[in-house]
Amino acid sequence: MSGTVQVLIIRTAGTNCDRETQSAFELAGARVAVRHVNELTGARRVFDDVQIIALPGGFTYGDDIAAGKILANELRMRLQEPLRRFLERNGLIIGICNGFQALVKMGMLPGNADWTQEVTLAGNDSGLFEARWVYLRRFPGARCVWTRGIENLLYLPVAHGEGKFIARNPQCIQRLAGAGQLVLRYCTRAGEVTGYPGNPNGSQEHVAGICDETGRVFGLMPHPERFVLTTQHPHWTRLNGRRPADGLAVFQAGVQYVRQS
């Protein structure tokens, strides 16, 4: 398609990364609207005017019950029909940290016909809120459109208490791997799989992000919106501008996909 790519960022009580996500999409060349979820139930046609939907990070509804669970129920019960229609016309969705938790707990990720939940994001093995920078690499064969063209390791921050990826059973993990739905995994600076602290939560198969079968719905625990400028790197003064802003590549890939569709 040609013209400006329109992005809708959905926020609610406790969302706290919406403005950073807006800035990231704008740097990638998109036009962005930030709307409270309550506004959308009475204006469902708004989904027809956008090509990308983003669920940003934060602590929606205080993470009561479980991280992202209340927002997940709200989206599933109140907005399922317009969201399904949005996906049917090849829309893109990204959920970051709390947004990823919501997508998983509403069943949109990894995705099935009934949106039945098959995986979860549970409490970190350490029992701590983990906030640090981590290295990530793509799983071989990952079909996610949000990571197209990204061949190098990514270096991004995490900040979560419930980021441990767990599948219902080993067959689920095998199915996701075979379908190219495992997208990002925690690793060392050398690209090797790693345990704690490089894997900050104990995720199965070191999973940091997954997508649906189409590759258009993407969820990840690290925060790409927090590294879209070189000066956001923790050692930027030593790099003399040589380090690209890894997180920006994710938003650029999404916007570029829409432009080429």
Q: How many CB atoms lie within 10 A of CB 40?
A: 20
Q: Which of 17, 130, 211, 223 is catalytic?
A: 223
| Six token digits for residue 85 | 């229609």
- Asked if 225 is an active-site residue, the reply is yes
| Six token digits for residue 150 | 């990204």
Q: Helices 18-27 and 246-260 meet at what angle, rounded to 10?
A: 60
- Asked if 223 is an active-site residue, the reply is yes
**Cα(first)–Cα(last) distance of the chain, in Å?**
5
| Six token digits for residue 42 | 């009475």
d(CA 132, CA 157): 5
- Asked if 97 is an active-site residue, the reply is yes
Q: Which of 20, 74, 97, 233 is catalytic?
A: 97
Peptide bond between residue 222 and the one before it cis (omega within 30 degrees of 0): no
d(CA 44, CA 20): 25
Longest CA pairwise span in the chain (Å): 50
d(CA 44, CA 86): 10
d(CA 24, CA 225): 6
Q: Which of 74, 130, 162, 225 is catalytic?
A: 225
d(CA 45, CA 47): 5
Residue numbers annotated as active site: 97, 223, 225
